[in-house]
Chains A and B, each alone.
Chain A
Amino acid sequence: MNFTSGKELLAICNKKNLLISEVMIEREISQFDLTKKEIFSKMDETRTVMEESIENGKKDSKLSFTGLIGGEAKMLHEYYLKYNTISGKSVLTGVINALSVMEENSKMGKIVAAPTAGSSGILPATIISTAKRFNISNQKINEALFTASAIGYIITKNATVSGAEGGCQAETGSASAMAAGALVELLGGNPTQSLSAASFTLKNVLGLVCDPVAGLVELPCAKRNALGVSNAMLSADMALAGIETKIPFDEVVEAMYRVGKKMHPDLKETAEGGIAATKTAREFEKRIFK
């Protein structure tokens, strides 16, 4: 079994009455000659690394090698425990977790690139914090991660998830789309709603540039991961409410790819534009690489 687009995926889901995760698992079995047990044990390992990276990053206030980020997940966590916050429990616990993974990443900790290291906070943070809140089992989390990977696969196949090729919209945008689609299935939504949610998230960040200070995966990447969490959650809620994307997922992916192609190279991971080219960013850069 195989599919190469959102349209084909939905057709299989509808015809066979399957969830996106079920189709993706079938595809994995048929394409890579693995058993279901092997695939789930690999996903167990993946999920465990995700959970550990969430826990490790916020443990302390250690700074990254460059000193650009670090300690912010812990700071936000303490604030959240102490005060009546604006964003509330679900968004903030997700954001704390996303910052945590990104800080762990910057300290050379172990993470899962999902789909990249620069966007590695969004998916674990969104899925695992929501699953905890709703008391959802690890088995269900694993299944949701297959749904996420189906969306990531379609974007990789038809466009790109690389910041160097498509800007931040392709990188954190794709991670959020994966997370949004997975959230929908996690909370009992159907495949069409999953792709609607994924479409919303991508549309929301279309044109977002990749402008890492000093070329490093730290600033503004960590905060873009925070944004990615809230983007995914809002999009999933809209889809679960029955709001449908007017533009099909495949066309949104194509639009994202075209925007990425048109983006100037200065705005695609080269640290020559955007936030990376500000006066202060240049001063950081000089200090780091002196």
Chain B
Amino acid sequence: MSISTFDCLGPIMIGPSSSHTAGAAKIGLVANKIANNNIKSVIFYLHGSFAKTHKGHGTDKALLGGILGFDEKDKRIRHSFEIAKERNLEFKFIEKDLGDVHPNTVLIEMTSNENTITTIQGTSTGGGAMEINMLNGLNVKFSGNAPTIITVHKDVPGVVAKVTAVLAEKNLNISTMSVLKDESNNTATMIIEVDKIFDNSIKDLLLSKIEAVNKIYLF
């Protein structure tokens, strides 16, 4: 990816730290979108430097702000604790060693109003950039910079071709794609980054057209 003017002069963000505040808000916001903004309670497991300095850097406020749907330049981040309480969103921060991962890593466990649990693990990699490296226990890797479609499907032949055919039909050009298999339950996860924004109808289209697809996450 080429470096732009606004990578050098940016991001526009709520301080004080691009890696501990802006990157954290971005991880929270991706989690919010993955959970489709349906979150009753959330637990943040903070690792390494996130665990050590989250108070001084406002990492906690930024993560929670993201969960509330605020981006890294939204001033409401400063008041995210109060806003979460107003919205009856329960939240908890737990310092935890997540193993051999980057120091600025957080594991987020979200419970929906229907009591389903979604977990997502993200790392703030510096300068406000981040990557998601785990989704519901599966290893994944995406940056959140491009519009992304994630499918969880039965690991049977032909699914990749069927999904890409639907995307082609919608005139969506794929920029990156990866497929990860989980042999323990015969499922696969596919992460597709596309080069233009799609509308949410793509979700229903994929679910209705391809029987093997169990779940779709969009953001």
Contact = CB atoms under 8 A, between A and B. Distances in A.
Contact of B10 (A46, A105, A288): A46
Contact of A110 (B19, B57, B58, B75): B75
Contacts of A32: 2, 4
B18 interface: yes
Nearest to A124: B9
A167 interface: no
Given A110-B73, A117-B18, A117-B21, A148 B9 contact: yes
B26 interface: no
Contacts of B75: 110
Given A110-B12, A112-B12, A215-B49, A153 B5 contact: yes
Nearest to A157: B3
Nearest to B8: A152
A152 B58 CA distance: 27
A115 B2 contact: no
B109 to A, nearest CB: 24
Of residues A113, A114, A217, which shows the largest number of chain B Cβ atoms within 10 Å of its Cβ? A113
B15 A116 contact: no
Given A31-B4, A117-B18, A289 B52 contact: yes
A5 interface: no
Interface in B120-172: 126-128
Contacts of B126: 162, 164
Contacts of B3: 153, 156-157
A32 B52 CA distance: 38
B16 A115 contact: no
Interface size class, chain A: 35 or more
Contact of B18 (A66, A113, A218, A288): A113
A105 B16 contact: yes
Nearest to B62: A108
A214 interface: yes
A266 B177 CA distance: 38
B53 A214 contact: yes
Nearest to B126: A162
Nearest to A46: B9
A215 to B, nearest CB: 5
Nearest to B73: A110
B78 interface: yes
A147 to B, nearest CB: 10
Given A45-B12, A49-B12, A162-B126, A217 B17 contact: yes
B5 A24 contact: yes
B80 to A, nearest CB: 10
A202 to B, nearest CB: 15
A111 interface: yes
A156 B61 CA distance: 29
A111 B15 contact: yes
A149 B9 CA distance: 6
Nearest to A105: B15
Given A66-B56, A108-B58, A162-B126, A217 B16 contact: yes
Given A108-B21, A108-B77, A215-B53, A117 B5 contact: no
A107 B12 CA distance: 15
Contacts of B9: 43, 46, 112-115, 123, 145, 148-149, 152
Given A109-B14, A115-B8, 17 more contacts: A28-B5, A39-B5, A45-B12, A65-B55, A65-B56, A104-B15, A106-B16, A111-B13, A113-B9, A120-B15, A152-B9, A153-B5, A153-B7, A162-B127, A164-B19, A214-B56, A288-B56
Interface of B: 2-19, 21-22, 49, 52-53, 55-58, 61, 73, 75, 77-78, 126-128
Interface of A: 2, 24, 28, 31-32, 39, 42-43, 45-46, 49, 64-66, 104-118, 120, 123, 145-146, 148-149, 152-153, 156-157, 161-162, 164, 178, 214-218, 288-289
6 contacts: A24-B5, A49-B73, A105-B16, A113-B13, A113-B127, A217-B57
